[in-house]
Structure 1
Amino acid sequence: MTVKVAAIQMCSGVDPQRNADTMARLVRDAAAKGAVYVQTPEMTGALQKNRAELRAILRNAENDIIVSRAAELARDLKIHVHVGSTAIARDDDKIANRGFLFGPDGTRICSYDKIHMFDVDLDNGESWRESAAYQPGSEARVTDLGFAKLGFAICYDVRFPQLFRAEAVAGAEILTVPAAFTRQTGEAHWEILLRARAIENGAFLVAAAQGGVHEDGRETYGHSMIIDPWGRVLASAGGDGEAVVMAELDIAAVKAARAKIPNLKNARDFTLAQSQAMAPAGGEAA
């Protein structure tokens, strides 16, 4: 079965209404070109480094403009709309970095909270502490789109292959990595990580990204991509600004790739032993 999918690249600012309008325009463009599944990037609703100002615009899922607009788009266009993520207010004063999937009737099929927090210290003084404000998720997700099974992840999750392996073992044929990768880490690792996750799981991978210089001053890498189960890049955007990246996926290619390299079936349980240095002949270890 062949289906057309799209990854939406954005350069989200600090105003959720403006970002929602941009999302709607790009999703409609993708649908007009035949996409039946459209993914938006991480933090579609707003990229705002100032935590106080971010909290001022936060809403719960029932009242969030990105969530409601995505549901409307899915229903109006009769497609699957996957909000890669947006910031959602939780009842415990924490924030969820949450993705949402809506079906062609506008129904929310499921949501996914980013599991791994981006707590890092990079070169040139660039430092991030997501865990200071965000509550990590604890549950991986796989859902059936009808034409394929979809596995969820968000941005920094891509560095944890065990998440993608668990989803692939559970039947995921399309893996997802909506992201707001920093320019520094993106230049070094973005494409190779995405291709590795696709190859090692014999799955398609769709990664919608933020790209450009944002209103809050951060720079994101862009280069939204769609990759096939053999690790080939089917489509890719540039580094800055808006884009609609599209590709036709032959879902049968997943079965074919996994038949050629059946590593999901060939995996074995093992134990890890740590050995101490052996004493040299005729003496004791120092």
Structure 2
Amino acid sequence: MKIALAQTTTGIDPAANAHALVAAIQEAGRAGAAMLFTPEMSGLLDRDRARAATSIRTEADDAVLAAVAEAARSAGIWVHLGSLALRRDDGMLANRGFVIDARGAVRARYDKMHLFDVDLPSGERWRESASYAAGERAVAVDTPLGRMGMTICYDLRFPDLFRALSDAGARVLSVPAAFTRPTGAAHWHVLLRARAIEAGAFVVAAAQTGVHEDGRETYGHSLVVDPWGEVLLDMGAEAGVGFVELDLGLVDRVQARVPALRHRRAIGAVDVAS
């Protein structure tokens, strides 16, 4: 089955970002892809909180989500909209991903559970929790590719989430992201391959890339990794739409060859010897 990934350099204007997403959906639909995957923060990427606040809407009023849903319906293609910044009723923000079907209906929502609060050796300082509320539930959804587990960016570093999704029957794990260049160069490929191998599942990771209008730099290298850990697609640093064919039967063959999922055991307290 053919899928598509949109690798973007999202900016500070939601209307321009929506236009680019619609164009990617149309391109993917014309190419016969069953599903398009987009990165984290596909509708707005702006670290100036005051400026960003003027563009962030509730889910019901978000023009990017509405445009993507209509484009998915028109093109007859499923879309994993990696995430949008949305305003919650309590005034906090949500970093929320969506799966939209070929009729333009939202099939699933997932709020990012692990928030990126770090000080990097490069001097970059990120405090996602200053504005965003963490999600509280893992989410999987049935798609044309089979059951898909939804994660977002920093979630990649927490294998317990991926274990819960694979235990729920996920055969595809989606990791939309906006990795910084330093962390991407160090960890992106190895972590995505590890998550695929551990779960015996496909990993699809659409990423932001390049130098953005707000001054940040992201790593790119949108990846698709198969259940054996082989990289099927690496989009490098250029923005654009990439395509790859998935052999969905490979999940069963790999899980039969290495039946680690059946051998998992619950781990209780740890005995510490001195």
Query: TM-score category by the smaller chain?
Result: over 0.9
Counterpart CA distance in 2 for 1:261 and 1:272 is 27
Of the three residues 240, 243, 247, the one matched with 1:243 is 240
Residue 254 of structure 1 pairs with residue 251 of structure 2 = yes
Counterpart CA distance in 1 for 2:155 and 2:34 is 25
Q: Tell me how far 1:204 sits from its aligned partner.
A: 0.5
Tell me, which stretches of 5 or more residues in structure 2 are unaligned? none
- Paired amino acid for 1:249: L
Q: Kindly provide the CA deviation profile for residues 174-204 of structure 1, in whole angstroms up to 9, marking residues without a partner as x.
A: 1000000000100000011111100110000
- The answer on whether the counterparts of 2:10 and 2:17 sit within 8 Å (CA) in structure 1 is yes
CA 1:12–1:147 in 2, change beyond 3 Å: closer, same or farther?
A: closer
Tell me, which stretches of 5 or more residues in structure 1 are unaligned? 278-286
Give the structure 2 partner of residue 183 of structure 1: 181
Counterpart CA distance in 2 for 1:208 and 1:214 is 16
Residue 105 of structure 1 pairs with residue 119 of structure 2 = no
Give the structure 2 partner of residue 27 of structure 1: 25
Number of residue pairs matched? 274
The aligned runs of 1:169-248 (5 Å cut-off) are 169-239=167-237, 241-248=238-245
Counterpart CA distance in 2 for 1:276 and 1:259 is 37
- The answer on whether the counterparts of 1:226 and 1:246 sit within 8 Å (CA) in structure 2 is no
Counterpart CA distance in 2 for 1:275 and 1:96 is 39
Give the structure 1 partner of residue 9 of structure 2: 11
Residue 156 of structure 1 pairs with residue 154 of structure 2 = yes
- Paired amino acid for 1:115: M
- Paired amino acid for 1:244: V
- The answer on whether the counterparts of 1:178 and 1:209 sit within 8 Å (CA) in structure 2 is yes
Give the structure 2 partner of residue 42 of structure 1: 40
- Paired amino acid for 1:198: A
- The answer on whether the counterparts of 2:35 and 2:77 sit within 8 Å (CA) in structure 1 is yes
- The answer on whether the counterparts of 1:80 and 1:102 sit within 8 Å (CA) in structure 2 is yes
Of the three residues 259, 268, 272, the one matched with 2:269 is 272
Give the structure 1 partner of residue 134 of structure 2: 136
Give the structure 2 partner of residue 282 of structure 1: none
Q: Secondary structure at the match of 1:250?
A: coil
Q: Tell me how far 1:146 sits from its aligned partner.
A: 4.0
Give the structure 1 partner of residue 63 of structure 2: 65
- The answer on whether the counterparts of 2:98 and 2:106 sit within 8 Å (CA) in structure 1 is yes
Counterpart CA distance in 1 for 2:29 and 2:152 is 23
Q: Kindly provide the CA deviation profile for residues 200-235 of structure 1, in whole angstroms up to 9, marking residues without a partner as x.
A: 100001110000000000000000011110011111
Counterpart CA distance in 1 for 2:268 and 2:55 is 48
- Paired amino acid for 1:246: F
Q: Secondary structure at the match of 1:274?
A: coil
Once the two structures are aligned, what percentage of the paired residues are identical? Answer: 49
Q: Secondary structure at the match of 1:168?
A: helix
- The answer on whether the counterparts of 2:95 and 2:112 sit within 8 Å (CA) in structure 1 is yes
Q: Secondary structure at the match of 2:54?
A: helix
Give the structure 2 partner of residue 124 of structure 1: 122
Counterpart CA distance in 2 for 1:147 and 1:125 is 40
Counterpart CA distance in 2 for 1:79 and 1:245 is 15
- Runs of 4+ displaced beyond 6 Å: none
RMSD: 1.0
Counterpart CA distance in 2 for 1:9 and 1:270 is 38
